[in-house]
Structure 1
Amino acid sequence: MNFAEGSRVLFVGEGDFSFVASLSQQGLCAGIHLTATSLQEQQSERARSNVEVLVERGVKVVLGVDATRLHLHPVIRHLRFTHIVFNFPHVGGKMRIDLNRKLLREFFQSAVEVLECGGHVVVTLCGGQAGVPPDPVVRRWDDSWKVVLMASYADLVLRSIQKFSPDSFPGYTATGYRSLEKTFCQDGALMFMFQVCELSPEPLDAEATESVLLCDGCSIKLPAFLHSQLQMDIMSDKSSFAGYLYSWVVGLLSANLTVYCQETLVFRKETQCMSLGKCETVSICKDQRECTIFCHPSYRINEESLQLEPLVILFYSGDTEMLESVLSQSVTLNVRNVSHSFTPVARQLAVRDFTDQMCFSDDQSCAGSVVCCVVSVAALARHCGVEEDEVWALGQSVSLCGDVLTFTQWSLCPVEYIYDLSFWDSIASGGENNALVSGTLNMTIDTIITNMGRGTVKSYRLLSSYSHPVLGRRSHTYRIEYRSWHGALSDQGAKQVHSQIGQQLEKCLGVEVR
């Protein structure tokens, strides 16, 4: 546990103050302003001894501080801290999961009131309590304290997870509730660091679209939010997972072939072959010598589902034996997704398994043809344990240490929520107008969900349609899954977004939400 010089650190829920005493004794708090607090005003002999030591070292000690009422305390409420630390919070007793969740929630909500802008809240929990995938002690999520969800009620996101080792703090003794001498097991304990990160409060115009120029010269209108994702150009960002995979594929090819990296291509999935066939690179490629490959970072637009898929497009002419050899080469990537595990997972792959191929030629004999390989970066990422919505997450980072590739999101281990949205058509059954969820209107529904979700919608699909035999109306149900990698999203927040989507469907399409 390290703090930058000048930090102002508040420790709450200290039992016998041995943890802060250990930090100060090791010299880990030089140049740092420490405030150590405890709920109990009556202290044990060991606690009194540690308090005397802390006071001598310049640590401010305050007794009778309720960690869930920091913003109301006569002393604490006037201060602002860069870090607030709560080690092993517990209400006491067994089988009190609901009360411990409440404790965490109220602590987080109070802590942000006295937290400096950009500050961090640190909570240490025993193994299995938190309810996050990297936890070495596996429990069902509904049998955990749901620490990420409790933090989200205070607009806090999980920024890092570290293993907690009591041996790193000589003299530290973990005492139970009300400073009882009885200790508790700390095997598998984890330290969680949170930071305030609110979601954008203002959604986009529900029906807003932007024009995108495609590589075949045509244009297409995309939902404004999808257009903003395209503008991010994650394939050119080496700090993103998609950008890293693009660079990795280029490096793999460059070991045996001459590779020229070209401009970004954008095209529709429905006209993929025609669009790529019109690409200027096809003509250029025919005039090149063998073992030369042209590589384009690309995005494919799926109009049916209104999704963007990052790709690597390869153009190659001549004998394809060398290209096939490189693409079929079995490679192992050791990938650690920080939201999933503390240890990397060996992912064996061959680029060929994620590649579709076509060829362009001037005649039917395919003599002098140009081979075009379409490599799915999204499929490569999924194979490496990174889901599609993670690929587009803001604030992600990739680092390579030795042979281990570490992928970190801005917000770790976000909670997923699934809600259904049902509505009646505005038109009575009969005739062609009955098809509300097809054609232009279907695209309008997709646009509204995409724009109003503004990055919190992981996926959605039409679950069912139903015709009422008496009313003569059709009902449609969409299943929408929410998750945010860039800001705090609680169940309440997800329900609010869900409600906004329903309201905009009623406003823009005249439907009736059930």
Structure 2
Amino acid sequence: MAPRRLLLVGEGNFSFAAALSETLDPRTSLTATCLQHPADLARDPLARENLQRLRERGTEVRFGVDCTQLVDAFELQDREFDRIYFNFPHCGRKAGVAKNRELLAKFFQRGFLEAPSYHPIKTINEKLIAELGKVFPLKRLKCSSPLLPQADTSDLTSCHCDILSSAFWISLREDNSNFESLTGGTTQDMEDFLVSSSELSLPRNPRRDSKEEAQEGMYGQAKVCLRPSLLVHVQALIQAPDFLPGSLYILSGPVFQKCRISPSTMPAFHETLFILGFNKNLKDGCLQSLLDHLKGILDSLLTQTLLEGSKLGSSVEFVFQPPGEDYMITVKSQNFGPDCVKDLIIGSVTTSATSIIHKDQCFACVSMNLDLLAMLVWGISDWRMLWTFDKRFLKNFAAGKIEPFKSYSLYPPYYVHDISFWLDTKKRFDEVEFHTVARAVSQDTVISIQFLSRFQHPKTEQVSLCYRLTYQTCDKALTQQQVASMQSQLRKEIQQRLHVTPR
């Protein structure tokens, strides 16, 4: 396996770092950091022992490192890490849940939408907002809403069940001694903060009549999720005292969803949300005006990189979603290969994103997937390119300009591996969760998962599934040894997390 660089943040007394260092390949570089300074750990005998073990193995140790300001802790040439571990996101003994959520939000923030970035996601967002600003008065909101909204708030209960079912849920485990700290008390802080998406029990295809039951199941087992859409904040925004009907409110920020692996679906992307309030008597006219202007703007953006004389294969369409007045915003594209025959969903328009009932007002919300829209506009075929740290990527873009993207990749080799496993008769197999585990283990190098076959043993009636996985990066070459190692790790992970038995 090629040399790797690992970064540990928030290490505390360095127990995890010391244990991990004993298991690593000698060619793996490990950097362990903590927020404390050496003087703060001087009286802790376990910390002194762990630091001694790390130094004997040549591990780099840094103190006073704020995990939310990593750009300040490392020089530009030292910022490329293969994986970053943050094992126990916590601000301190009596920090409280609110501060811990804020810590996680700052840790996950990438800043593509912040100035002075020339990232295509920011460019497409600014152009979309500028064009709508020619028609509607704009109120731009700062995205200070939490990445980890509580599941028992009215924001989440008004959100569509399908959106919540794809969320990354975080389970807060507590015992009687620290229960008060979870609810804002001051006794003891929570002892475990564990991401647990596979334990959540959800219906396979939630229906409207089972929505309340599904949501009750969610909230009974998990308290917090990484927000799957900015729609979870709509109700709070509309209830704000300074909300004015007739103005187009804009909120932009990152969101996170579990999804199947494909070139056009992504577990993390940037969303822009437009919220418009209007008088009920003017509903039909206002909503149609919003749709017409939005369609014109999107069609214009999608034709900017076409060669002279060529035509857009399929214009933007608003697909009606009964029973309410909701629409899916779709477009066809050849950027993702011949297998992409279905319309790509780049956004949605909904009038049912809030449970607020007002006798005089209606609300329309437009959600746009900025990452997918940027890929379509520039002709970027792989969503992973948008998240790369490779300097060659951003060199393709200039402030405010939209020109065809020129790939710098030499199409690195791909590797194909099959995996088969017996299902647990007592557990429901979740294929999306299987994709999620494969994505995590492979560090987003699995580009395709194809179902091959289903076998049922004639005597035991036990069922076995077989899948084909294709590994490939978007900007560098993988080795056979790296892929073999990831495939081996995947077998272990699915056995533990999905309760299956690899064959």
TM-score normalised per structure 1: 0.45
Q: Which has the higher strand share?
A: 1
Which of the pair has more CA radius of gyration? 1
TM-score normalised per structure 2: 0.46
